């Protein structure tokens, strides 16, 4: 196969006519009729497919393709050539002597000047590209396998966590009965005219039982918030200032060495769960007692001014930014030296009570102290 390259007309540097030997080009060249019948092919292509020109001419191009290629030729190749006149960068597999050769093919459909529609085809062997694509597919398959494995591990981890939380709730609930029995026994012993050493022992039993009961209540609230539908609240009209004032009176007996100050702003009437709000304040005061400066007052401000809010402020070291971001997460504890160990649920329960009221809990901290603020709608509904 030979072709002539003519000089460009009206060019300042005309190129001489050059005769190109198409058989020596590094790509396969074919011309077929509109039905795919091969009219001619260069030597490069015949060498690739291991067929002489005599055996190749007269066959249909699509007969050289794999089954998938034949289907593509019928459903896409021919219709696209008829519609748009050309196809670029199509990858097909050609069968040659039992070997499958990946090829990238370009084609143009046109009139040969004698009224016959022909397809001029240029093909390139794409073994390196095919190996690269296959490696990409294998890498993708491996990645998808790893992702699926990670998802299974994550699901299994979630199942184990949910089971552990459910067991925590069940065990905590079952512990209430023996603790109630211990508390009742301690209360009965306290009125039996015991001597002073015996009274001290009974007092320690009662105090320890109350702490254990409070811990169990926290664990049950945690389980309800994480596994169930959230902490339950019973919203009703309340007098916020009076409610928190009574709660602080009880807390002053629990923490006799600390000064608890109550400030009021706005009106007092709002909606909320009285028991849960007193619990919330108790958790905030407990946190302030543990981590605040011991010789400074803890100030609780209640306010109903468009929204309802409770703010607890204590003096002490500034909370680091990294820790402040996770203050309301479960199992989070401060790092103050000498602080008693706990499961770290107090502030988590504060946040969940706020959410159950349709509100939110926030914390700010500076050199002037730390403030925990809980806000919720004055007409909270549940």
Where does residue 329 rank: exposed (0-12), middle (13-18), buried (19+ CB within 10 A)?
Answer: exposed
Domains of the chain, start order: 2-125 (3.30.450.20), 133-226 (1.10.287.130), 236-377 (3.30.565.10)
Written as tens digits, the pLDDT of the chain (382 aa) is 655 443 334 445 555 665 667 888 888 999 999 999 999 999 999 998 888 888 899 999 999 999 999 999 999 988 999 999 999 999 899 998 788 989 999 999 999 888 999 999 999 888 777 676 777 778 888 888 888 888 888 887 776 666 556 655 555 555 666 766 777 777 777 777 778 888 888 778 877 777 777 777 766 666 666 655 677 888 999 999 999 999 999 889 888 899 999 999 999 999 999 988 998 999 899 999 998 998 999 999 999 998 999 999 999 888 888 888 888 887 665 555 444 445 567 888 899 899 999 999 999 999 889 999 999 997 755 4
Which residues neighbour 377 within 8 Å (Cβ) at sequence distance 6 or greater? 271, 307, 308, 357, 358, 359
Residue 205 tokens read as 């039993």
Q: What is the pTM of this model?
A: 0.50
Which residues neighbour 141 within 8 Å (Cβ) at sequence distance 6 or greater? none
DSSP secondary structure of 287-335: HHHHHS-TTS-EEEEEEEESEEEEEEEE-SSPPPHHHHTTTTSTT----
Closest CA to 372 of 289, 306, 288: 288
Helices (H), strands (E): how many in the chain? 10, 14
Indicate left, alpha or beta for 230 from its phi (over 0: left) and psi (-120 to 50: alpha).
Answer: left
């Amino acid at each position: 196969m030979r072709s002539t390259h003519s000089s460009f007309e009206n060019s300042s540097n005309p190129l001489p006519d050059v005769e190109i030997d198409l058989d020596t080009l590094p790509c396969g060249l074919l011309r077929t009729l509109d039905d795919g019948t091969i009219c001619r092919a260069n030597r490069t292509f015949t060498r690739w497919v291991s067929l002489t020109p005599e055996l190749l001419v007269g066959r249909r191009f699509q007969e050289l393709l794999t089954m998938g290629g034949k289907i593509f030729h019928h459903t896409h190749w021919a219709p696209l050539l008829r519609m748009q006149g050309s196809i670029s960068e199509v990858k097909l597999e050609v069968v040659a002597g039992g070997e499958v050769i990946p090829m990238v093919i370009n084609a143009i459909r046109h009139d040969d000047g004698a009224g016959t529609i022909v397809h001029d085809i240029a093909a390139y062997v794409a073994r390196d590209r095919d190996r690269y694509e296959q490696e990409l597919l294998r890498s993708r398959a491996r990645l998808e396998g790893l992702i699926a494995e990670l998802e299974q591990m994550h699901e299994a981890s979630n199942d184990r966590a949910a089971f552990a939380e459910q067991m925590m709730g069940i065990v905590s609930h079952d512990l209430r009965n023996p603790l109630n029995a211990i508390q009742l026994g301690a209360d009965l012993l306290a009125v039996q005219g015991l001597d002073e050493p015996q009274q001290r022992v009974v007092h320690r039993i009662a105090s320890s039982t109350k702490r254990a009961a409070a811990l169990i209540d926290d664990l049950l609230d945690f389980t309800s918030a994480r596994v169930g539908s959230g902490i339950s609240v019973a919203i009703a009209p309340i007098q916020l200032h009076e409610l928190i004032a009574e709660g602080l009176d009880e807390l002053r007996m629990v923490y006799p060495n600390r000064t608890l100050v109550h400030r009021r702003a706005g009106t007092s009437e709002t909606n909320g769960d009285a028991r849960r709000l007193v619990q919330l304040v108790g958790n905030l005061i407990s946190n302030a007692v543990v981590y605040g400066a011991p010789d400074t007052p803890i100030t609780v401000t209640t306010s109903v001014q468009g929204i309802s809010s409770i703010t607890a402020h204590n003096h002490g070291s500034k909370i680091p930014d990294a820790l402040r971001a996770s203050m309301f997460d479960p199992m989070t504890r401060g790092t103050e030296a000498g602080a008693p160990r706990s499961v770290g649920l107090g502030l988590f329960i504060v946040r969940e009570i706020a959410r159950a009221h349709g509100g939110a809990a926030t914390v700010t901290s500076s050199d002037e102290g730390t403030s925990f603020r809980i806000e919720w709608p004055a007409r909270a509904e549940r």
